[in-house]
Amino acid sequence: MLYRNEKGQFLKGFIPFNKGKIDPNKHKKRLEYLKKYYKKNIEKFREKRKLRKEYHSEYRKKNRIKIRFSIKNCRNEKRKKVLDFLGGKCVRCGFTDIRALQVDHIHGGGRTEIKKYNREYVLYLLKQIESSHDDFRKKYQLLCANCNWIKKSENNEIRKH
Ligand SMILES: [Zn+2]
């Protein structure tokens, strides 16, 4: 365990909630008792679990929009952190509406990265910011949607239809 040393003593500075008074044998007995109790009353537990599942699925159905919004808000907040870090405006034209700002890979290769991380992409960016501010700024910049398309066409990154 994390809070005990090799001899089983508590590490310095760690104060267990019961001050280490629980006898390990008693603890074992208690666990065994709980196991037996669980096996005996397994039907009860199953029923409770079923009820819980039903409650959750109903809650999800009823609050579908609320849940979607909270997920979206959470994602937006994280996205805003990344955008703020990169200056909050398009580096070419100075456009500031975050709805049309995109994180651009200065040296290309963005599409494969986005595909790889998909919904976790913003988290992936945040992690990179945490690990190194300078590297992140060297690798990414902010472009508005227009400038991003213009850059793509300049670099011949657009597929011809
Ligand atoms: Zn722009």
Q: How far is the CA of 135 from the centre of ligand 1 (A)?
A: 23
Q: Judge whether 57 lies within some domain.
A: yes
Distance from the CA of 102 to the center of ligand 1, in angstroms? 10
pLDDT in tens, 106-146: 888 778 888 888 888 898 999 999 998 899 999 999 999 99
Identify the domain containing residue 47 by its residue range: 24-62
Residue 7: inside a domain: no
Q: Are residues 42 and 28 in the same domain?
A: yes
| Nearest-angstrom CA–CA distance, 124 and 117 | 7
Task: Tell how far the Cα of 19 is from the centroid of ligand 1, in angstroms.
Answer: 61
Shared-domain flag, residues 75 and 127: yes
Q: Could you please report the per-residue DSSP string of 34-88?
A: HHHHHHHTHHHHHHHHHHHHHHHHHHHHHTHHHHHHHHHHHHHHHHHHHHHHTTS
Q: What is the pTM of this model?
A: 0.59
The confidence score (pLDDT) of residue 129 equals 92
Same domain flag for 134 and 58: no
Whether 56 and 81 map to the same domain: the answer is no
Q: What is the pLDDT of residues 15-45, one digit of tens each?
A: 666 666 677 788 889 999 999 999 999 999 9
